[in-house]
Amino acid sequence: MVLVKRIRGNAMKKEKSDFGKGLVICLVKFAEHQSQHNGAYFPIYQKFIKQTPENKKLMLSDNPPSNLNYGFPFMQALKNFVRIADNVHKGNYEKALSYEIELFMNASSDHLYEIETPKGKDWDKIRVMVKELQNKGLHIGHGFDGKAKWTIEDINELFELNRQIALKIDKKLGLKAEIGKW
């Protein structure tokens, strides 16, 4: 978001963007959030939600069995998630996960406010994809209607769209680009 600051009467001066401006830089900054710790924890939360009551109890124990143990930081995050879900969302884990996703996307989607594509008909396909990324990302992260139920699939869809946009840009530049396996 470009901020305009009033200085000496009516003269205006643009301040630098807080979250990035352009195309590639905004895509990169958006993608950086995928690897941040919150995004990595969501699959563990979803696995917990799908477990039987007995397995949920085992997962929250001090010494979960190896098939339900995802390592110390993940298990601590899970216990915190469950505590918040129980206290704030009255044990509605799906609602708690949706809320966590909104918070996560609130930070990620900030980088989509000033995303832009070059003018010209040859950028139309990329422009449509970028607009889709921007609209859905901002809706999840800044919509806060309280009625939506966001899932990990929504996040995965956005980050996959981000990768596909990057791939199309590389190909547009004449590169023999591939996303790769890892």
- Can you list the alpha helix ranges (DSSP code H) found in the chain? 24-32, 37-49, 53-59, 72-88, 93-108, 124-142, 152-172
| pLDDT surpasses 90 at 59 | yes
In a domain, 9, yes or no: no
Bridge partners (DSSP) of residue 120 are none
Which residue has better confidence, 38 or 169?
A: 169
pTM of the model: 0.82
40: in domain? yes
**What is the Cα 55 distance to its own chain's centre?**
28
Residue 49 lies in domain: 19-172
**Percent of the chain beyond pLDDT 70?**
89
The answer to the question of residue 10 being in a domain is no
Say how far apart CA 16 and CA 173 lie, in whole Å. 28
Residue 56 DSSP code: H
Number of domains, the chain: 1
Choose between 107 and 133: higher pLDDT. Answer: 133
What percentage of the chain has pLDDT greater than the value 90?
70
Residue 51: strand, helix, or coil: coil
The residue that leads in pLDDT, 148 or 80, is: 80
Residue 91 lies in a domain: yes
